């Protein structure tokens, strides 16, 4: 059912990448959920994922679960803090006292980063309900029961140029990539970076966005009008907050506030990665970095801007999904 195949040579050299494999899951009910006209549901993970793949597929999913799903660097952390607070009656004290990565643990992290010991799937499986769960897995690898339960699923997507640049910095400062931006982008475009291919990840969720328990939105929409998104999420969760409460939450969720908030800025994870992965450590990196739309313009070469635009156009030829940047 699961297939693990080599990704072949890659220029990106960092934690786990020597063990990178394409994982695919070939079962009819998963392919039903796959992209129309495209049964390629492969995703780059590491070999170690084999140990938890079936456990995740078969895990129990509860109606009161909250799932935050995304391609990496798309605004996941932002969405996690937002949905956790909205679903937990704006409990700022607990949000401050308990680190976000414990409130919303990442399901597969021990199966994708060598830095993490075994057990992330068990941690999630045994969590106290209501569970909040983070994952970057694609539709095909998610638990079967996610599609039959009433669990609420939030999917956030971000334009590819900002996403790739953000991923490059993440890889340099966290996973220990020491190569160039150009090699990173090239490798990303070849679907050889962890969790790629990128468009297929988003497209599969785009095809599911009308399901009553799925809410999909864009990082760029959060930046443009966070208050509207907060209202929509509240309604989706069946919560009723006043405008004053939502304005206060918006303030709490600003990049500046979250950057200074040790519960959200992944400081412990960062310092652990810095000890273990020998990443670039120039003292300038914070997990919540530029936090803007179009930041790529300051960093990506014209050559790659054009290439990514062309690649995007090609990839979106057969879909009505469009990016907002
Ligand atoms: P940049 O690296 O472009 O700054 P993820 O959480 O999926 O890893 O995504 C990280 C990206 O989201 C980073 O992008 C980060 O700065 C941005 N981000 C995190 N919190 C944010 C916030 N409160 N407001 C705006 N952007 C935020």
Q: What is the pLDDT of residues 5-16, one digit of tens each?
A: 999 888 777 767
Coil vs helix vs strand at 100: helix
Alpha-carbon dihedral sign for residues 147, 204, 159, 318: negative
**pLDDT band with cut points at 50, 70 and 90 for residue 29:** low
Beta strands in 169-258 (DSSP E): 214-218
The conformation of residue 292, written as its DSSP 8-state character, comes to -
**pLDDT band with cut points at 50, 70 and 90 for residue 40:** low
**Whether the Cβ atoms of residue 130 and residue 62 lie closer than 8 Å to each other:** yes
Q: pTM for the whole thing? A: 0.95
Q: Which residues of 88-119 are buried (b: 16+ CB within 10 A; e: fewer)?
A: bebeeeebeeebbbebbbbbbbbbbbbbbeee
Average pLDDT of the residues in 157-182: 94
Average pLDDT of the residues in 97-104: 96
Q: Note the residue count of the chain.
A: 325
**Whether the Cβ atoms of residue 82 and residue 227 lie closer than 8 Å to each other:** no
Between 115 and 307, name the one with better pLDDT.
307
Strand partners, 6: 21
**Whether the Cβ atoms of residue 284 and residue 259 lie closer than 8 Å to each other:** no
Q: Which region among 138-142, 176-180, 182-186 has the lowest average model confidence (pLDDT)?
A: 176-180
Coil vs helix vs strand at 87: helix
Between 11 and 59, name the one with better pLDDT.
59
By alpha-carbon position, which residue is closest to atom 5 of ligand 1? 73
**pLDDT band with cut points at 50, 70 and 90 for residue 36:** very low
| pLDDT number for residue 83 | 98
| 32 has pLDDT over 80 | no
| 31 has pLDDT over 50 | no
Q: What is the best residue among 70, 73, 222 to mutate for testing ligand 1's pocket, by most ligand atoms within 8 Å of CB? A: 73
Which residue matches tokens 């801007």?
305
High-pLDDT (> 90) share of the chain, %: 77
How far apart CA 18 and CA 266 sit, in angstroms, is: 25
By alpha-carbon position, which residue is closest to atom 12 of ligand 1? 75
By alpha-carbon position, which residue is closest to atom 15 of ligand 1? 288
Average pLDDT of the residues in 155-173: 96
Average pLDDT of the residues in 196-202: 96
How far apart CA 113 and CA 119 sit, in angstroms, is: 12
pLDDT digits (tens, 9 = 90+) for 244-284: 999 999 999 999 999 999 999 888 888 888 887 777 887 78
How far apart CA 146 and CA 205 sit, in angstroms, is: 13
Coil vs helix vs strand at 265: coil
**Of all atoms in ligand 1, which is nearest to the CA of residue 169?**
2
| 297 has pLDDT over 80 | yes
| pLDDT number for residue 270 | 83
For ligand 1, residues with CB inside 6 Å are 70, 72-78, 162, 166, 169, 253, 255, 258, 288-291, 295
From the CA of 258, how far away is ligand 1's center (Å)? 10
**pLDDT band with cut points at 50, 70 and 90 for residue 37:** very low
| pLDDT number for residue 237 | 98
For 186, residues 6+ apart whose C-beta sits below 8 A from its C-beta are 11
Structure tokens at 325: 């940047």
């Amino acid at each position: 059912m699961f297939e693990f195949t080599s990704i072949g040579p890659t220029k990106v050299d960092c934690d786990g990448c020597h063990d990178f494999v394409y994982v695919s899951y070939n079962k009819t009910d998963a392919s039903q959920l796959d992209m129309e006209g495209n049964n390629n549901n492969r995703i780059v993970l590491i070999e170690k994922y084999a140990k938890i793949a079936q456990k995740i597929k078969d895990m129990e999913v509860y109606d009161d679960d909250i799932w935050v799903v995304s391609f990496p660097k798309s605004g996941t952390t932002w969405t996690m803090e937002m949905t956790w607070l909205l679903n937990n009656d704006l409990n700022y004290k607990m949000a401050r006292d308990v680190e976000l990565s414990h409130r919303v643990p990442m399901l597969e992290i021990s199966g994708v980063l060598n830095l993490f010991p075994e057990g992330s799937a068990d941690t999630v499986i045994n969590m106290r309900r209501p569970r909040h769960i983070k994952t970057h897995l694609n539709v095909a690898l998610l638990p079967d029961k996610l599609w039959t339960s009433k669990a609420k699923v939030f999917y956030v997507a971000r334009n590819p140029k900002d996403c790739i640049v953000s991923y490059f910095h993440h890889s340099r400062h966290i996973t220990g990539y020491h190569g160039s931006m150009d090699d990173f982008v090239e490798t990303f475009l070849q679907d050889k970076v962890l969790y790629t291919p990128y468009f297929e990840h988003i497209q599969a969720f785009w095809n599911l966005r009308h399901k009553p328990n799925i809410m999909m939105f864009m990082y760029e929409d959060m930046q443009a009008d966070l208050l509207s998104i907060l209202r929509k999420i509240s309604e989706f969760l069946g919560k009723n907050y006043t405008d004053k409460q939502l304005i206060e939450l918006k303030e709490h969720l600003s990049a500046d506030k979250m950057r200074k908030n040790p519960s959200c800025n992944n400081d412990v994870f960062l310092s652990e990665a810095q000890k273990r992965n020998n990443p670039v450590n120039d003292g300038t990196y914070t997990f919540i970095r530029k936090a803007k739309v179009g930041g790529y313009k300051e960093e990506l070469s014209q050559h790659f801007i054009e290439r990514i635009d062309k690649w995007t156009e090609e990839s979106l030829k057969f879909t009505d999904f469009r990016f907002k940047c």
